[in-house]
Structure formats: structure tokens, C-alpha cells
Amino acid sequence: MLSSSTAGEALQIALRTAQVGNRFIDITASLTSTTGRITFGHTDLPADVRNFLLERDIVIIFGVIVLRCLSPQLVDRLGETRLELALPADRTALLVDGITEMLTDLAHDPVREVRIVADRPVTELTFPLDLLGEPMAMPDPATAAMCEQQCLDLLQHRLERGPLAAKIRAILVQEIHDAPTAGAIAAKLNMDGRTLRRRLTDEGSSFRKLQEETRCTLAIDMLGVLNLTVSETAVRLGYTSSEAFSRSFTRWTGKPPSAFGTGDRQRVGQ
């Protein structure tokens, strides 16, 4: 996106390669003669984790990607955009603070320029259509084409892993608090545990690998993006203790959970 020629080209690339990222919300775009609208759908997510996953994805999309790729022309026009969030006011305020903290190295504070409204039925970003013609921060067509192809190659690789792995990953996310076993997931999919493991092997994967990939991805986001404590993260991932979670996390990443926190270090590990 950073190397795209215009905001419109960046949006097209983002939509074509959206499945590459570890996101949980659906992203769609629609255009009228005067207005653009990007909708972030999350109604299909389980109710008990819906707000958390929406917050997680919005923080990553805006704090890690979008607001870092804007040219001065786009920054100057952020006041013409409106971000409606299907989150209560208190969660919206924390989300804005979290994005702002992630962008402290920038010379400006872009998120404060956007009109942000809480307690809306859907989450969507609206903007003037001509904004799509504005340049991005570092336009470079050759680099943009190369990066897009790499994303598409990665997406193809993931698709080739097979549909069963995707189904299991979705269930693991939906029931992350309960830490479902391979047998429990096999029953949900109307097969026995042995069949599930055999089919995963045929797809070049395993239940343990999928479980650890999912937990690791969510843990890094909880600690580094949402700034949860180690104990809060352990509970959300279904661990019986912070110590057990910390051992697993260190095994996955080679680093302790405290290395991934972004906020007050005194909170980490409480």
C-alpha cells in the first residue's frame, strides 16, 4: 500500500490481498458518484469475542497499516473522513488511545483528525470519492507490483493447505476461551478424531500446529496491540495460569510475553 501510486490503487490492492493478513472481520468497499465507503463486517463472529476481534482488527488496520502510508495530501484531508464504530463509547476511546500510542513516532497525530463516532450499528469508513485520487506516501509502481505478487503467492499457498485447516482455525478462534480439543472439533465437523488428524496430515498440517499458530497470533495481538496483561491474555486463551501461558508463549516465539507489550510495563504480568 505504501508504494501504491494513489489511495484508490492502494484500496484495490488491499481488497485483493485482504485474506493474506490474520484478520477476522470482512472488508468490503462500495462507491457512489461522490462518496466511498469501506465496511468492516463482524456480525458473523461469536458474540462473546465479537468486540474484541473488531477492536483488534481496526487497531491493526489503522494503527499499523493505513495511517502510516498516507501522504501529506491525504493527512490534510483526514478531517473529511468519518469512521463509525459498532463499539460502545468507552471501548472506542480506548481504541483511539491505542492507535495514537502506536503512532507516536510520527510528526503528526492522524487519528485525531478523523471524525470517529461510537455506538453505530455497523463499522464503516466514509470519505469523499475524489480522495482516492490523492497520492500515497512513497509511490513506486514496481515495488507495489512486486509486493502485491508476493501477497498473492502467499494467499495461494494458504489456499493449497486445504479447507479443513481453515475450518479448524475458525473454530479455534470462535471457542478460544474453551481451548477445544481435537476430538471436540472433530465431533463438530461430524468426523472422528483419527479421520481429522489423517486429513490434516494430507493437507500438510496438524491439529497442534494449527492450535499453536492461532494462539500465538492472538496472544501477540492481545499483548502488543490491545495491551492486555499476561494474566488477561492467558484467561482469554483458555489457560489455567499465567505461568503455563508464559511457558507456551516463550516456546512459540523465543521471547517472554513481556517483550511484546506496548503499554505500561508494570501492567504486564499482573
43: how many CB neighbours lie within 10 A of its CB?
Answer: 11
* pLDDT score of 36 more than 80: yes
CA dihedral 117, 121, 125, 126 (to 10 degrees): -90
Q: Taking residues 159-172, report their average pLDDT.
A: 75
Mean pLDDT, the chain, rounded, equals 82
Cα gap 64→107, rounded to integer Å: 16
Cα gap 75→77, rounded to integer Å: 5
90: how many CB neighbours lie within 10 A of its CB?
Answer: 9
What does pTM read for this prediction?
0.63
Cα gap 160→165, rounded to integer Å: 10
Comparing 26-30, 67-71, 181-185, the range with the smallest average pLDDT is 67-71
* pLDDT score of 132 more than 80: yes
Nearest to 38 by CA among 132, 141, 136: 132
Question: Can you list the positions of beta strands (E) in 100-216?
Answer: 115-117, 123-128
* pLDDT score of 108 more than 80: no
Q: Taking residues 146-174, report their average pLDDT.
A: 72
pLDDT at 1: 62
CA dihedral 216, 49, 59, 90 (to 10 degrees): -140
Comparing 66-70, 74-78, 190-194, 225-229, the range with the smallest average pLDDT is 225-229
- With a CB cutoff of 8 Å and minimum separation 6, the contacts of 84 are 116, 117, 120, 122, 123, 124, 125, 126
pLDDT band at 22 (very low <50, low <70, confident <90, very high): low
Q: Taking residues 104-130, report their average pLDDT.
A: 89
Alpha carbon distances (Å) from 38 to 29, 30, 42, 249:
4, 7, 13, 35
Q: Nearest 5°: CA angle at 208, between 203 and 213? A: 85
Amino acid residing at 42: H
Nearest to 128 by CA among 33, 58, 1: 33
Question: Can you list the positions of beta strands (E) in the chain?
Answer: 26-31, 35-41, 82-84, 115-117, 123-128
- With a CB cutoff of 8 Å and minimum separation 6, the contacts of 233 are 219, 222, 223, 245, 257
* pLDDT score of 156 more than 70: no
Q: With contact defined as beta carbons under 8 Å apart, do 25 and 41 qualify?
A: yes
184: how many CB neighbours lie within 10 A of its CB?
Answer: 13
Look up residue 216 and give its three cell numbers.
500465538
